[in-house]
Amino acid sequence: MGTDLELEGFEVLSSQECGVLLTRGCVGRVGFVVGGHPQVLPVNYAADDAGVVVFRTSANSILMAVAMQAVVFEVDGLDEAHRTGWSVCVHGSAREITERDDPIAERLRTLAVIPWAPGHRQRWFAITPVEITGRRLPVQGMAEGLGGWYPGIPS
Domain coordinates in residue numbering, the chain: 11-137
Instruction: Using 70 as the pLDDT threshold, list the residues of the chain that sit under it.
Output: 1-7, 101, 140-155
| Opening angle at CA 132, ends 126 and 137, nearest 5 | 125
pLDDT at 15: 92
Residue 62 CA to residue 142 CA, distance in Å, equals 43
What is the pTM assigned to this prediction?
A: 0.80
The domain 11-137 having CATH identifier 2.30.110.10: the answer here is: yes
